[in-house]
């Protein structure tokens, strides 16, 4: 038996789905005339209930393969303006022609009734002993309908053979009546759900038709097909009237229980292995570096988790200053004239002298400077930025060194067992959260399809599926949040490394707090350049220099200018006693810091009836589908 395509009306929602704008169908009445010529003529009357302003209703018909559709007309039954236009298989009804690009309102918060008619060809199969009409008379995409009436008209009275079978998308049971002459069958359904098709399968006496499409008897085969479909659909219809089992709603408790179970186990894992060790109290301020390590390693020992490239700029800048302090390179002030002498600026460049000993992070930074050197032995910040732009992988490779170098020399920062436990729980919770969110997205459509396949109505109890979807979504979001908690809380410091991290934080507070520097011992001002390099590693270099200058000027303290600053004469250290001298050196280093800040930003990482019967739920069977209806 050939497969038919569905036919019906298409209403495209368009602007109709906007807030405060909707419609439904108070009634749909379809008269289907099965003509003796083999054509099918349809007269369709629909009453729309509009909420909001609508400018057009339009219908698109998809005839059976090889068939054609011919619109015969359309009109409004309420006497109000209505103009129809046909373009191919599309019929539109408006209130009049477009005015300045906009259609005039067709309806506004009112009820309107339209009637339209059309003829379809190639819709009937006529054999020697029977004729078959099998189509989705009501399209599978449409608005909700309060009352639906279908009248099927045979070409002549057919008391011997006029069998009508109705199948609906949600297995509804309606009424089927024949007129005394058995030429007209009337089907009534109330209501019909949104996007629920109605399929009609009609067997007729072939003597009412003047055409033949099959030169063989087919009645017995068609009756067997119909009997099998009807038996199956009647069972589905019975079950479709039952609500989705209440245990589906209780499924919502399953993901919540799963969430609570994982939360309980995560709390137990934290209690057993995530709590930080108890160390001595450090206080808010600490006046010396926590340990003797190269300044470039400091940004990578302050936190449990490796900051990666996010702290490379601080480490790189502090290492450049330390290389200058050690004599491996020299800071050179350079004036950039700008364009035509305008927008000039001071720039700090780096003149290379000799590489540091060892192959650690400082050695790698010096090697980067050598590669970035344009050939004159002096490296500018722009040349460094250009090098990393040409070699983007070098920044991430360089960022992996400081933490590894520290742990190789001083042991692991974190307890290895807690780190493994944290990684395991982070993965478990993250994967479970993503799966829960995916399940939440698919719950309603797949759940409806699943229960429809079992024979339950897709819309009989959507609340249970919505509850389940919300429970799964809440569980997924909660699990993703817990995965971040596990990532942050389960890894545990080694006791000595936690103490050092707290001391580094307290040391940063000391360097940045002017009031604390007032009580600093004299040795602090003799070694202030040493503190300045660490202040750069901790991100408070400019604040430290301002505090130092203010305190020296306020208390009349003398500072020793380091030779590596590049602003003292004679190449050796000299005593800075006057405010002007102090300001000159500290402002020079502030300029260096600002230059390094620009370089630091460049190193940061950049970052969805008796004569027939009703069947139950059906996927359309041989009737096909694809048409739909609506308004805008």
Q: For residue 607, what pLDDT is reported?
A: 43
Q: Could you tell me which of 167, 199, 164, 206 has the C-alpha nearest to residue 182?
A: 164
Return the minimum-mean-pLDDT range out of 33-37, 179-183, 451-455, 495-499: 451-455
Looking at per-residue confidence, does 275 or 132 come out higher?
A: 132
Q: For residue 624, what pLDDT is reported?
A: 46
Q: For residue 521, what pLDDT is reported?
A: 78
**Would you say 575 and 552 are in contact if contact means Cβ atoms under 8 Å apart?**
no
How many degrees, rounded to 5, is the angle at CA 631 between CA 630 and CA 632?
140
**pLDDT above 90 coverage of the chain, percent:** 28
Assign 2 a pLDDT band (cuts: 50, 70, 90): very low
Q: For the chain, what is the mean pLDDT? A: 80
* 181 phi and psi angles, rounded to 5 deg: -80, -5
pLDDT higher than 90, residue 35: yes
pLDDT higher than 60, residue 528: yes
Write the pLDDT tens digit of every residue in 263-302. Answer: 887 787 777 666 777 878 888 999 889 999 999 999 999 9
Mean pLDDT of 546-568: 74
Q: Is 44 left (phi over 0), alpha (psi -120 to 50) or beta?
A: beta
Looking at per-residue confidence, does 492 or 379 come out higher?
A: 379
Q: For residue 75, what pLDDT is reported?
A: 92
* 25 phi and psi angles, rounded to 5 deg: -105, 120
**pLDDT above 70 coverage of the chain, percent:** 80
* Residue 181 token pair: 């002459």
Q: For residue 240, what pLDDT is reported?
A: 57
Looking at per-residue confidence, does 591 or 411 come out higher?
A: 411
Return the minimum-mean-pLDDT range out of 109-123, 150-164, 342-356, 403-417: 342-356
Model pTM?
0.51
Q: For residue 578, what pLDDT is reported?
A: 57
Q: For residue 583, what pLDDT is reported?
A: 67
What distance in Å separates the CA atoms of residue 625 and residue 107, rounded to the nearest whole number?
29
Q: For residue 19, what pLDDT is reported?
A: 42
Assign 564 a pLDDT band (cuts: 50, 70, 90): confident
Write the pLDDT tens digit of every residue in 593-611. Answer: 776 776 666 666 654 334 5
pLDDT higher than 80, residue 203: yes
Q: Are strands 628-631 and 57-60 parallel, antiparallel or unpaired?
A: antiparallel
pLDDT higher than 70, residue 415: yes
Return the minimum-mean-pLDDT range out of 209-213, 375-379, 449-453: 449-453
Assign 584 a pLDDT band (cuts: 50, 70, 90): low
Whether residue 449 has a cis bond before it, omega within 30° of 0: no
Q: For residue 46, what pLDDT is reported?
A: 95
Q: For residue 616, what pLDDT is reported?
A: 45
pLDDT higher than 60, residue 5: no
Assign 205 a pLDDT band (cuts: 50, 70, 90): very high
Query: Which sequence spans correspond to the domains of the chain?
Result: 22-243, 244-271+416-491, 327-408
Looking at per-residue confidence, does 308 or 150 come out higher?
A: 150
Looking at per-residue confidence, does 251 or 577 come out higher?
A: 251
How many degrees, rounded to 5, is the angle at CA 372 between CA 368 and CA 376?
125
Q: For residue 404, what pLDDT is reported?
A: 92
Q: For residue 451, what pLDDT is reported?
A: 63
* Residue 367 token pair: 């090697």
Write the pLDDT tens digit of every residue in 424-455. Answer: 888 888 888 888 888 888 877 777 666 665 55
Q: For residue 331, what pLDDT is reported?
A: 84
The continuous run of DSSP H or E covering 586 comes out as helix 579-603
Q: 120: Cβ–Cβ under 8 A, 6 or more apart, which residues?
A: 7, 39, 40, 41, 42, 61, 63, 64, 67, 68, 69
Q: Tell me the β-bridge partners of 94.
A: 83
Q: Which CATH number is associated with domain 22-243?
A: 2.60.40.1730
Q: 356: Cβ–Cβ under 8 A, 6 or more apart, which residues?
A: 323, 326, 328, 362, 363, 366
Write the pLDDT tens digit of every residue in 318-368. Answer: 898 899 889 898 888 777 665 555 555 677 888 899 999 877 899 999 999
């Amino acid at each position: 038996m050939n497969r038919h395509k569905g036919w019906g009306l298409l209403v495209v929602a368009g602007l109709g789905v906007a807030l405060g704008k909707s419609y439904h169908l108070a009634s749909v009445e379809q008269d289907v005339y099965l003509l003796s010529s083999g054509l099918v003529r349809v007269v369709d009357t629909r009453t729309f209930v509009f909420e909001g302003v609508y400018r057009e209703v339009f219908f698109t018909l998809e005839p059976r393969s090889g068939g054609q559709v011919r619109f015969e007309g359309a009109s409004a039954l309420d006497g109000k303006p209505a103009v129809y236009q046909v373009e191919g298989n599309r019929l539109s009804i408006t209130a009049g022609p477009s005015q300045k690009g906009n259609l005039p309102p067709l309806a506004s918060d009112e009820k309107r009734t339209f009637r339209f008619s059309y003829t379809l060809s190639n819709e009937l199969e006529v054999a020697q002993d029977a004729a078959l009409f099998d189509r989705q008379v009501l399209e599978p995409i449409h608005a909700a309908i309060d009352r639906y009436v279908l009248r099927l008209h045979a070409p002549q009275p057919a008391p011997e053979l006029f069998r009508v079978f109705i199948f609906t998308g949600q297995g509804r049971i309606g009424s089927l009546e024949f007129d005394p002459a058995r030429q007209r069958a009337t089907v009534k359904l109330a209501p019909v759900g949104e996007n629920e098709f109605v399929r009609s399968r009609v067997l007729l006496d072939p003597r009412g038709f003047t055409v033949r499409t099959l030169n063989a008897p087919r009645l017995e085969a068609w009756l067997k097909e119909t009997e099998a479909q009807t038996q199956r659909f009647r069972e589905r219809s019975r079950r479709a009237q039952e609500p989705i089992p209440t245990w589906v709603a209780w499924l919502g408790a399953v993901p919540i229980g799963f969430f609570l179970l994982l939360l309980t186990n995560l709390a137990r894992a934290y209690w057993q292995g995530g709590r930080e060790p108890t160390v001595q109290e450090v206080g808010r301020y600490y006046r010396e570096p926590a340990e003797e390590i190269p300044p470039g390693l400091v940004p990578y020992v302050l936190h449990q988790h490796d900051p990666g490239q996010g702290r490379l700029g601080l480490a790189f800048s502090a290492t450049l200053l330390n290389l200058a302090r050690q004599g491996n390179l020299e800071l050179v002030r350079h004036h950039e004239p700008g364009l035509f002498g305008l927008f000039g600026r001071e720039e700090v460049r780096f003149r290379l002298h000799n590489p540091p000993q060892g192959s650690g992070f400082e050695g790698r930074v010096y090697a980067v400077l050598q590669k970035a050197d344009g050939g004159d032995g002096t490296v500018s910040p722009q040349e460094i930025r250009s090098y990393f732009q040409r070699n983007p992988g070098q920044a991430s490779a360089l960022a992996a060194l400081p933490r590894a170098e520290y742990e190789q020399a001083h042991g692991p920062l974190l307890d290895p067992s807690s780190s493994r436990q944290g990684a395991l729980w982070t993965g478990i919770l993250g994967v479970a959260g993503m799966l829960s969110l995916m399940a939440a997205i698919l719950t309603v459509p797949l759940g409806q399809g699943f229960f429809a396949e079992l024979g339950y109505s897709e819309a009989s109890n959507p609340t249970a599926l919505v509850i389940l979807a919300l429970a799964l979504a809440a569980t997924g979001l909660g699990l993703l949040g817990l995965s971040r908690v596990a990532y942050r809380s389960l890894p545990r410091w080694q006791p000595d490394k936690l103490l050092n991290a707290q001391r580094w934080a307290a040391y940063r507070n000391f360097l940045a707090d002017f009031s604390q520097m007032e009580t600093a011992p004299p040795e602090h001002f003799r070694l202030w350049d040493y503190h300045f390099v660490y202040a750069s590693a901790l991100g408070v270099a400019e604040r430290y220099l301002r505090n130092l200058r203010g305190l020296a000027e306020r208390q009349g303290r003398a500072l020793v200018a380091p030779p590596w600053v590049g602003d003292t004469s004679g190449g050796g250290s000299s005593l800075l006693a006057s405010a002007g001298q102090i300001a000159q050196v500290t402002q020079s280093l502030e300029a260096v810091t600002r230059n390094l800040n620009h370089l630091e930003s460049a190193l940061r990482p950049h970052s969805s009836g008796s004569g027939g019967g009703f069947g139950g739920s059906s996927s359309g069977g041989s009737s096909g589908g694809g048409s739909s209806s609506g308004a805008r």
